[in-house]
Amino acid sequence: MSGLEIIFLVVAAVTLSAAFMVVTTPNLVHGALWLVLTLFGVAATFVLLNAAFLAVVQVVVYIGAIAILMIFAIMLTRKVMQDSGPQTNANWIVAALLGLVLFVGIAQLLRKSSAVGMMMPAMDGAADPVVQLGEVLVSPNAYVLPFEVASVLLLAAMIGAIVVAWKK
Partner 1 sequence: MGDPINLISQWFNDLLLGWGLGEKLVAVLSLFVGAAILVTASLLTVVVLIWVERKIAGRLQDRIGPNRAGPFGLLQPIADIIKIFTKEITTPDGADKVAFNIAPVLAMASVLLIWAVIPMAATVVGSDINVGVLYIVAVGSLGIVAILMAGWSSNNKFALLGAFRAVAQMVSYEVPMVLTLLIPVLLARSMGINDIVQAQSTWFIVIAPLAGLIFLITSMAEVGRAPFDLIEAESEIVAGFHVEYSGMAFGMFYVSEFLHVWTIGALIATLFLGGWRGPGAETWPILGLFYFYIKTFVGYFLITWIRLSLPRVRIDQLLSFNWKFLTPLTLVILVVTAIVDKALSMAGAARWLYVLVMLAANVLVGWGTMLVLKTVEPNRPGRVRQEFPPRPVAVAPEAADN
Contact positions toward partner 1, by CB under 8 A? 3, 29-30, 33, 36, 52-53, 56-57, 59-60, 63-65, 67-69, 71-72, 75, 80-81, 128-130
Is residue 147 within 8 A of residue 138, CB to CB? The reply is yes
**CB of 35 vs partner 1, minimal distance in Å:** 11
Residue with smaller CB distance to partner 1, 12 or 21: 21
**CB of 60 vs partner 1, minimal distance in Å:** 5
On the CB side of 168, how many CA atoms lie within 13 Å of its CA? Answer: 1
Q: At a CB cut-off of 8 Å and minimum separation 6, what does 142 contact?
A: 136
**CB of 127 vs partner 1, minimal distance in Å:** 11
Is residue 59 within 8 A of residue 40, CB to CB? The reply is yes
Residue with smaller CB distance to partner 1, 7 or 95: 7
**CB of 101 vs partner 1, minimal distance in Å:** 34
Residue with smaller CB distance to partner 1, 33 or 48: 33
Residue with smaller CB distance to partner 1, 118 or 131: 131
What 8-state DSSP symbol labels residue 62? Answer: I
Residue 98 CA to residue 20 CA, distance in Å, equals 17
- Would you say how long the chain is, in residues? 168
